[in-house]
Amino acid sequence: MLAEIKKLEDTTDFSAGKGYQSIFLGSNFHISLPQPRQSIKKLIAKVVGTDSLVLKYFNYNTIFLALRMMPIISGINVDGDPRKRKVNAARKDTSLRDTRLSFDIQLEDAYYKGSGFDRGYMSRREDA
């Protein structure tokens, strides 16, 4: 199982993800992704090899606080119409580390063991 997860982590490519779209509700509604205050920007993880603070996924973005090892800001475009869901089948979650961030600042499954909490994210991929 660990080998399968490692392979998924190594091969998952988020480059096609355009991220959160500020005009998702139409051109008359522009809602920018919130930005961290200047005082904490030094604690925000940068995307490996870049100066970018924003991790873009499919219809959502996160800004990751390295100190807490979790996203601090999340923006997601949600269309509540169930007919527009891309995947209607039951989903089996496999939480993967994101190779665009250093692995040493990402929480592992052991953090959640016995806590009563599921491993999760600020923006659920299923919602987007």
Give me the pLDDT at residue 114, please. Answer: 81
Q: How far apart are CA 84 and CA 40, in angstroms?
A: 37
Q: Is residue 60 included in any domain, yes or no? A: yes
User: Which of the 8 DSSP states describes residue 56?
Assistant: E
The predicted model gives 102-108 an average pLDDT of 89
The chain-wide mean pLDDT, for the chain, equals: 84
Q: Is residue 122 included in any domain, yes or no? A: no
* Domain span at 24: 2-112
* Beta partners for residue 7, in sequence order: none
What does the buried/exposed string (b/e) look like for 95-122 if buried means 16 or more CB atoms within 10 Å of the residue's CB? Answer: eebbebbeeeebeeeeeeeeeeeeeeee
- Of residues 56 and 84, the one with the higher pLDDT is 56
Total domain count for the chain?
Answer: 1
Q: Is residue 70 included in any domain, yes or no? A: yes
For residues 77 and 59, the answer to whether their CB atoms sit within 8 Å is yes
Q: Is residue 29 included in any domain, yes or no? A: yes
Give me the pLDDT at residue 32, please. Answer: 94
Which residues, at least 6 apart from 91, have a Cβ–Cβ distance to it below 8 Å? 126
What does the buried/exposed string (b/e) look like for 9-18 if buried means 16 or more CB atoms within 10 Å of the residue's CB? Answer: eeeeeeeeee
Q: What are 31-48's pLDDT values in tens digits?
A: 999 999 999 999 999 999
Q: How far apart are CA 62 and CA 78, in angstroms?
A: 15
Of the candidate ranges 41-50, 64-73, 109-118, the one whose mean pLDDT is the lowest: 109-118
